[in-house]
Amino acid sequence: MKWNITFVLVIVCFLVAAFDVDTALADVPIVDGIVVWTRSSDNHTILNITLTHHNYFTGHYVNWIKVNVSGIISTMDLSEPQSDSTFIVQYDLGLVSDTPTAQAMVNCNIHGSSAWSKTVTVPEFSIAYAMLLLIVLTSVMFLVQKRNRIRW
- Read off the pLDDT of residues 70-100 as tens digits, 9 standing for 90 and up: 999 999 998 777 777 888 999 999 988 888 9
The pLDDT, as a whole number, for residue 2 is 57
Greatest mean pLDDT among 55-59, 77-81, 103-107 lies in 103-107
Contact status, residue 29 vs residue 107, Cβ threshold 8 Å = yes
E strand or H helix at 33: strand 30-38
Model confidence pLDDT, tens digit, residues 1-20: 556 777 777 776 666 666 66
In a domain, 144, yes or no: yes
CATH assignment at residue 95 = 2.60.40.10
- Prediction pTM value: 0.64
Which of 104, 100, 69 is closest to 88 using CA atoms?
Answer: 104
Residue pair 65/76 in contact (Cβ under 8 Å)? The answer is yes
Total number of domains constituting the chain: 1
* 52 phi, psi to nearest 5 deg: -125, 130
Within a domain: residue 102?
yes
> pLDDT tens across 40-56, in order?
899 899 999 999 988 77
Q: Residue 24 falls within a domain, yes or no?
A: no
With respect to residue 8, please indicate whether it lies within any of the assigned structural domains. no
Q: What percent of the chain has pLDDT over 90?
A: 34
Confidence of residue 59 (pLDDT cuts 50, 70, 90): confident
Do the domain assignments include residue 143? yes
